[in-house]
Structure 1
Amino acid sequence: MLKYSSVFRKFLISYVVILIIPSIGGYMSYLTSISVTRSISIENSVTQLQKSQDILERRMAEVEGFTRQLAINQELNVLMNERDNERNVYGIWKAMRNVLTFGQTNDFLQDYYIYLANYKLILTPGSSYRPDHYYDNFHYNDLSLEEWSKEVLEKSHRSEIKPLSSFVSRGTQTSVITYMQSLPLDSFNDTSPAVAVVIIDEKIIASLLSGLTERYGGWVHISDAEGQTIVLQGSSEPEMVKMVSDPSFDKNEVSQFYGDDLVITTTSNKNGWVYRAGIPRQVLMENANTIKETTWLITGGTLLIGLIVGLVLAYRTSAPINRLLNVMKEQFGKDEAGPRNEFDFLSGNIADMITQNKFLESELNRQLPLVRDAFLKRLIAGEFKSRDEILSAAEQADIDLLQGKGYAGIIQINGYAGMDSVEILNELSASRLLVKQGLSELGVDVLMTDIGSDKVVTLFFSMNEESGKENEIADINHTMENLAQYVFNEYRITIQAGFGELFASVTEVSLSFDQANQALEYAVYMNKKGIMWYNEAQTENTTYYYPLDSEQRLISTIRAGELEEAKRIVHAIIVQNMEQRELSIEMKHQLVGEMKGTFLKLLDQKAFTEYASIESVKRRVIDIGSSETLETIQSEFNEIMEELCGLIANKKKDAHIQIIKQIKEYTAEMYSDAELTLYRVAEQVERPEKYISQLFKEVTGVNFSDHLVKVRMDQAVVLLKESGYTVDEIATRVGYNSSHSFRRAFKRLMGISPSAYRQCVDE
């Protein structure tokens, strides 16, 4: 630890500061959470009380509505106005049946009666009583029969409510409030024909407030506008009187703490009733206390774990930095200027390394033209053995070969023949640069390289397939004429150019270059100015054309199984010797013999000796007659190449089939593994992932991912038919982490869901 003490301490302090900052933010969030939780609890309690108030007022409104329905009831009105008591028993019975047996959805209407003054009769649901008989079973403890008759039955009431009173119902003690309404509604005298009385048990009202009393363990008190108690649960009357009379208690405050309780107060706008609920402080803050305990526990644990992690990270981070410091000091020497900050030391040395790296990068960029020039020189010299090698080298040199077709040309600066002094070479170097600059300024996309002191090689590539040969030649002629005029007008430089035939492949660039060289030599020899094309040069050739690089490319191409490229090389050789040269019989025989020798050398290589039919191919090569026409000989060579490339293709195909077989076998074995990917399959068959992907698609016609889905779905079908596994279990068994993904894949492939498929099978 002492070894890393300086850097270690700096990192540790940084980690501790990082821990403290969010801890402070967390503490502020904790205080806010406590405040918000408390506010939410109070708000929820107020809302709960207001909801209970709304429900109670609606129920009481229904009670009032019930009495209004009685007031307009025809049978009841007949009874209220009837004076012949003996002859209307049927009317009483009918009223009891039609009026007093309403289907009651309001539990506040469970116990009510109607007093008919003219009959001195009390009607209840299902029975009728004389007042004294009714009083024997149902009466208030604080009212005698006479008091009850006088204050309730014989008095006119207008939506009057008797406060909470002790009440006996068939021997059972309870507390009730009483709603009283005289009938008809316009009764203003001291007495009225009838009185509707609804007795509401305190327990029924208390049930509406149970959310406050049972949930929080508090109390509820409802009083009328005069302060008389309507409902009281969870506390006593003296305590309520004491609280209301306490000067510290604000009667108009919606929520306030009194003693150990949060007291919530609301007042009805309809009847002036006052609703109060008391909730114990500790219950109200239960959630906040839980948050508090959890926060302290998590914060403490997090700080402890964070400190331990900080120690580990500080050590792990400082150790490699110190090792790097040691390496730097060993490589660059210790700081002689006295002790410095370690990071300054590293920063200075790394800055030097970056500077050197940028310098190296600039040097590489500076060398890129040399790399391109070297590539072009190898290309025109025919040093590449195959087309793939050319394409790879071109990519390395950052050169775009476009369609791979075009024309090779040589531009010669006139007037310096036979001169090789230092001054002349310098002047030629500048002239070549000016010629290449002139081509660039003309906006021509062409590859250029120097050859000799007075020549520049150009490669004009075809831009697209649609432009014809004649148009391309015309464009090149026009470009060269403009170049000649430009360099002469600007620098008094005269040029001469020779161009070869079209090369149809990048492997034929060297041939086109040789033709351009021959055309230029012919133009110089004949003293012809401007541009000379190879087909315009009248050359006499006494030898055949079959360079060594063409032979090597032909062998490499056949071994790679590239039939079309091999045919193109043979065709180019035949065209050169048939159309561009006049060969003697002896030269023709030697050419055919050379080409036959090439094929015999090829057949003796290991790539072909393993085939039993190779001897017959050799015999066919030997039997090619030199006296036949070159067209016939080319046709025979093409047939031989087709057979050889067919052998290579079959060999590749067999290898591909074997690889595909391995892939399918491995997939069939591992399909249940949810982690099975193309990368793992490529590892199994020891081939690159991209190669496997292309090969599988080429051989089977489908992507590997689609094949894997098909294998999994086939197995899923078997399990759906023959097993009792659920769809989720089947999804896991066939390699899906998500049953949703499995259902979607099954429906996409099979057209229906797995469950529907199983039902179809069961049916």
Structure 2
Amino acid sequence: MMKKAFYLPNSKTFIIFLLVVIISFVVLFFSQNWMLKTVREDKMEQNYAMLRLAKTSADLSLDQAFKLSQLLLLDNDIAKFIYQGEVDGGSIDIQTIIDAKITLPVARSISSMLSEIYIFSKNSGYLLSASNAYLEPEKMYPTLFAFEGLNYRQFRSKYLTAPFSRAFFAETTALVDGRAMRVIPLVQTFPLNSPSSNSGKIVMLLDSEFFSSILAEQRVGENLTSFITDSSGKLITSWGDTSLVVGLDYGDGQHRIQVGDEKYVLSVLTSEVSGLRFFSVLSLKDISAMMSPLWTVLTVLSLVMFLVMAALALFILLRNRKDWVELFGLASQGESPLPYEQALGHIKAIVAEDRNKVRMSGGTPFITDTFFRRLIHGKMADTSEIQAMLKLVQEDIDFSQNLVFQMVHLVIHDVNDILTSDRLEDIDFTRIAAQKQAQQTFARQHFLYMDFSFSIWIMLWHHDGSYLDKQIDLFWKEFSLVTPTSASMAVSSSKESLNEIFDATNECSDVLQSISNEKQVEVLRRYSEITLRRERYHYTSDMERKLYFAVLRGEEEALEEILRILEQDNFAARSLGGEETSNLLRVLYATAIKLCQAMHHEDPPKVFTTYPQAKQYFLAFAKNVRGENQDKEDILIQKIVSYIQDHYDQCSLNLSSMAKDFSMKESFLYHFMQTRMETSFAQYLEEYRLARAASMFSERQMTINEVTALCGYANSQTFRRAFRKHYGMLPSDYQKTVLFKQGV
């Protein structure tokens, strides 16, 4: 058969292709320049963001310190100490000092930023700290709490008696608990509502290393300088080159300044919490030094990749056109079906090309995914399909070797929350992270697939099972560090033949079920672990007693709670094996037999084979008992009503006589009427007697004494009082009203 001639693409196609190449090259060139400018600005913005983060971290800790100082100055014991004068030896006023000092150790431990807290009283001259009370501070100063370069008078004048509301002081060295520390003093004047009276001070020594670490964490450039000043521009602390402590008059924002012959970017932020100002100085040379290598590498790499992709695109265009033109040429010869043997080479070429495209884009051929879906859903007929699938994944796989296979199942716990939010990219990133880490950890000896429930399956193979276990641990360690979702990983046992692979998916499901039962998240668990966790069932005599009586009383809600606890203890908190599950069902069946004997049921239940079956039986039993109890209650209510109707005319009728006639306890009948009839015996009897009296007045002419006797009242006075209370009128008035209506 003659094949249709193959022609190169016409000149129009090549012209369009050439124009696309030229335009793409121009766009690439200008985009590189734009990228350089953008990245430089991004570095500057990154520097400003890091300074903002440092300010925020400091604000959080300083706000805590401010609130703590206010709480201390509002404390009654500390206020008494500040206003108290000198204390004579042996005076009971020493208790005020003790009470004030007790609060300081706890206060100092609240924040790790606090190195020490001092409370100063101007009236007495005393000074308290978390560890000491300095009643003679001038003598104790040199050895216990000296500040670098200051004697006690200078220390007192600078920090304790100077008139200000609240102030930060420059970083200095002070003795704290007998050792020299770099600290930043924060001083607050007492009282808070009238600082001008200057009755005392609270001095907080802030750990200088805390602020230094905040400033040092701004890792933008190699020679970054950061410093902090107060609102007046006084330097508090710095990190880096102190000669670059400049630009104190600039406002918040980023500014370009020049120091000597070099240009810098100055970033400034002011804290609304403390009033402190945060500065960072970064050289433009540092930014350029960071960018120049990146620019060169990206430019060369982009140009090379562009030329390679252009050549590859042209090659694919020519080859695909050849295969498809020849294939359709064969198909167009006559009306007979496509001559498959002649077309086979072209079909293979097109399929191979399609698979290569998918692999180059990071995916897997569609048919490979189909094979794997059949495997995990139990649709594969035999191992030949697994072999075909693995050949597509690793062409040189050798099934004659003794390979070990394992299945891994990654599940995202919060997938439903993610699907209903705008975090869909988290699922995709989890898949990408798993794919990249699997490629790095298992090389070509794996296949990864995400199913319709957004869980990830990985099939692994290797000739060394112990090596495979180590790599699985490494994969989980690295994957769990980068995934933004809450995920757990189930691992099947090792399978030494393809025939055993079919059980691996079920094992993964069992592992995930055990993780779900225990409400665990972000864990790696192997099937071998749950087989080792088989435990004895939990069903104590107390649990049996509660279940037994809940059924007998028909208390369905209480029974449901008992059965829920039983299920939780045995199937969530434990992982029972088949034997222990059978043992639990046997003892539950024994309880069921006891209930049948107690209720005189002649037909025992069938032996329980599952826990839901046992649960359903007990719930149905309790429901029947409750129904029987309800029938008994309805009968008793009718019996009480009939009894009162038959005996209401007896003056001696009371609850005791009715209980005696019923052969029941009086207390039982009392509570029964209160809870089931929502009335008492006396109230029900009174209402019935008065109803009958009103009926007698309406039915025929009777005297009040006659009605009194017929309704069971001992005397007419008691009857009149009860009638008036119930109907709002005397019996005589009621009788007249009735007779008037009847026209008598």
* TM-score, normalised via structure 2 length: 0.41
Q: Which is higher, the Rg of structure 1 or of structure 2?
A: 1
